[in-house]
Chain A
């Protein structure tokens, strides 16, 4: 409820005068012998009890209510119908950090949201929903509340990808009058007609470090290579320098020349020490957050590979791997189990091994040569593999089983599969290795190297965790305490013997302190769909035209006048004793 003439409310102070005016003093004081006869009437007449007071509270209350109603009428009260909520979804993904002419896309979204809120009726409920990996309702406020603006100012974009579909689904939970989305992405086709999509930002050049990996297993005394992928999303070739350091100690600075849209892979030897390797582009582009990427190198540890059987090409690829120990002899009692068992040409996958690189028995006849096509599934085995020229010989047609991850297909049939079940990892190369040109292709050792790395990974640390994904660490039990990249404490949970940090919206180095020991874990910013600033945004108009119509105010002055008159009539009846006389007449009869 509001008042068009709020100044009239000051007249409510007259109530105090009313209270003083109602203070009564007796007109006379009599000493009587029949006081008990006077008092005996009180039980049958409630009003008599009030007479023992100095004031008549019923009359005072009615008079005060009359005064309130009259003053309220003078203030011209009005009520505004409760409007439906308006859901505002703001993109908080990594690309919203991009700056154009000094203004970030998030700032642009803030300005548009403020303009939107200013145009809403003050009592309109506004739901603010942050869209990043895990969309969340940030708060619900009246449009006129300062808190909604304060919350807007406190927002920051994270290093995660967005989940606009999830955010819009969350917004629809309360059946809002409208959903306003502010993002630097184009409106998806499935957004729905109830969504007003506002695109912020401008096209801009950007160079990002999109991947960093250490393909070589750690072997004591052997230099390890870190492979860094840099992509130029801009329309023009760029020349930059990239510096690599290990735990802050500079290792090397690499000059780069990257053509438009090209991905350049840079291998760097970082030595044999464990630590965090940081690759950093020494440049200023529109999105600085993806100019740095890290990888945590585990301590040196050779990978023991026992070959039960292997074709010539596979054996050669395995032999080319460094940091591995190839064991051709059968396992003897007392030997520690190998990390990986290779079984090429086996009729079935060995059942008791925890990590198996498996290739089925090749067909007797040469199969068709088919192009190996990457399925697009993100998996460590497929990283940095140039699938473009890979040709394989078909080895029968058999579909994937439940739980299999198909990384590449040939002729529509699964060709490279990976599966994990109860801690057991299996990589299956389902093509004829001895007759496939892939075996002679540079992509093959990369695939084998990735497969060996993935199979040998015991899960003690996740080296490639993207912002927004949970960090998992396997190690001794204890009381963990997590510290974020900025030194802030982060929540940790222990599930199934693993310590998990769920909130990894900010990229950087997370520290996990367990019983005095500190373990460093790395989270890198999302780049897929976030770093490409050249193709996405086309800024749209401010969606003021689509605002819900402002609700009209209803003047309720007449109701206050009616209430005042009713109270006046009631007070008059009370003062005349209309209600008190009733029991008296009854007593006389």
Chain B
């Protein structure tokens, strides 16, 4: 799922977006903006420019004349939870929204593995949640990426139910990245509120198609629900596009406002965006931080 060029780009990043309490539990594999450090020794690693000078082990420097820093291990598992919307609506587009979502998940998974953060990836569709696996290290990451590649979209969307279920069953704290198009008609983001109530730190990644934001309608067009073909179709023409754009803009604004009000990072990514653009969008949200 990731080509070497993309891996090289990811190697320069670290996960961000953890809540302060979570960052305290995470060791210095990531470039932390705070001064929090772990208490349990995990390993030594060579000193790199920018490392906290207080973490340099001067004993070793005295013995070996090498600058190494002590890497602490969190006392409890600080995890990255990646929840991918696998409903039928994610299959729309070419390349599809699901493919884009999987690449985002793969990127998050790789960076987390590279920085030795535990990662759990799940795919939800309707009310069911399928746990693809947990990653703790690069070797496990390779296997999980293979599993991700075989994921297919299907079923009806029920984001709130899926996230609420996940909030009840998830263990520990951590960052929960929800990747979806958030076009579920019944979605009121109650599931995200459940994650917040559970103490998790949700982040919303909305993957959309260009045609969903700015549709191109020429003449009378029959619209059908991608998840429910038996539903009554709707007949539209070009005269309705303008109103639709305004309606979608309202929907997007609703998501953004929710994120601001609840401290939940939100980003909208077009499915066809190049990988660099994808990473840039995630960096703007704070999910990725440059590791330098």
Contact = CB atoms under 8 A, between A and B. Distances in A.
Interface of A: 24-41, 45, 48, 51-54, 577, 580-581, 584, 587-588
Given A38-B223, A41-B247, A53-B235, A31 B240 contact: no
A302 B289 CA distance: 145
A26 B90 CA distance: 25
B235 A39 contact: no
Contacts of B183: 33-34, 36-37
User: Which of B181, B219, B227, B235 has the most chain A CB atoms inside 10 A of its CB?
Assistant: B235
A51 B224 contact: no
Contacts of B49: none
A33 B244 contact: no
Nearest to B221: A28
Contacts of B225: 31-33, 35
A161 B83 CA distance: 110
19 contacts: A25-B220, A26-B221, A26-B235, A27-B218, A27-B221, A28-B218, A29-B221, A29-B222, A30-B221, A30-B223, A31-B92, A33-B181, A35-B223, A35-B234, A37-B251, A38-B223, A41-B243, A581-B239, A584-B246
Contacts of A35: 223-226, 231, 234
Given A39-B234, A51-B237, A587-B246, A33 B212 contact: yes
Given A34-B248, A52-B234, A580 B224 contact: no
A177 to B, nearest CB: 59
Interface size class of B (residues with CB under 8 A): 20 to 34
B242 interface: yes
Interface of B: 89-90, 92, 181, 183, 185, 212, 218-227, 229, 231-237, 239-240, 242-244, 246-248, 251
A36 B221 contact: no
A48 B231 CA distance: 17
Contacts of B224: 29-32, 35
A580 B185 CA distance: 25
Contacts of B222: 26, 28-30
Contacts of A48: 236, 240
A167 B236 CA distance: 72
A39 B236 CA distance: 10
A34 B231 CA distance: 13
Nearest to B92: A33
A108 B234 CA distance: 76
A48 B247 CA distance: 14
Contacts of B242: 584, 588
A478 to B, nearest CB: 76
Given A28-B219, A39-B234, 15 more contacts: A26-B221, A27-B219, A27-B220, A29-B224, A30-B223, A31-B226, A32-B226, A35-B225, A36-B183, A37-B244, A37-B247, A38-B244, A52-B232, A581-B239, A588-B243
Contacts of A37: 183, 244, 247-248, 251
A5 to B, nearest CB: 39
Contacts of A51: 234-237, 240
Contacts of A41: 240, 243-244, 247
Contacts of A53: 235
Q: Is the interface of B mostly helix, strand, loop or mixed?
A: mixed
A95 to B, nearest CB: 81
Contacts of B212: 32-34
Which 4 residue pairs spanning A and B have beta carbons closest together?
A33-B89, A27-B219, A36-B185, A31-B226
A587 B237 CA distance: 18
A581 B247 CA distance: 15
A580 B237 CA distance: 12
A37 B240 CA distance: 11
User: Which of B229, B231, B243, B247 has the most chain A CB atoms inside 10 A of its CB?
Assistant: B243
A580 B220 contact: no
B93 to A, nearest CB: 9
A38 B220 contact: no
Given A29-B224, A30-B223, A38 B234 contact: yes
Contacts of A40: 247
A36 to B, nearest CB: 4
A29 B183 CA distance: 20
Contacts of A34: 183, 212, 248
A18 to B, nearest CB: 18
B135 to A, nearest CB: 29
User: Which of A28, A32, A53 has the most chain B CB atoms inside 10 A of its CB?
Assistant: A32
A246 B181 CA distance: 116
A159 B149 CA distance: 114
A587 to B, nearest CB: 6
A234 B95 CA distance: 121
B227 A33 contact: yes
A82 B242 CA distance: 55
Nearest to A583: B243
A270 to B, nearest CB: 99
A577 B243 CA distance: 13
Nearest to A33: B89
Nearest to A585: B242
Contacts of A38: 223, 234, 236, 240, 244, 247
Contacts of B237: 51
Nearest to A31: B226
A24 B248 CA distance: 28
A40 B234 CA distance: 11
Contacts of A25: 220
A32 B243 CA distance: 16
A34 B212 CA distance: 7
Nearest to B97: A33
User: Which of A26, A30, A52, A54 has the most chain B CB atoms inside 10 A of its CB?
Assistant: A30
A575 to B, nearest CB: 10
B82 to A, nearest CB: 21
B224 to A, nearest CB: 5
B89 to A, nearest CB: 3
Nearest to A24: B220
A84 to B, nearest CB: 56
B269 to A, nearest CB: 15
Nearest to A52: B235
A40 B246 CA distance: 12
Contacts of A577: 239
User: Which of A24, A31, A584 has the most chain B CB atoms inside 10 A of its CB?
Assistant: A31
Contacts of B233: 29, 52
A280 to B, nearest CB: 91
User: Which of B89, B92, B212, B220 has the most chain A CB atoms inside 10 A of its CB?
Assistant: B220
Contacts of A33: 89-90, 92, 181, 183, 212, 225-227
A40 B254 CA distance: 15
Contacts of B232: 52
Contacts of A36: 183, 185
User: Which of A34, A581, A588 has the most chain B CB atoms inside 10 A of its CB?
Assistant: A34
Nearest to A580: B239
Contacts of A584: 242-243, 246
User: Which of B90, B233, B236, B251 has the most chain A CB atoms inside 10 A of its CB?
Assistant: B236
B223 to A, nearest CB: 5
Nearest to B218: A27
A189 B221 CA distance: 86
B226 A26 contact: no
Nearest to B219: A27
Contacts of A28: 218-219, 221-222
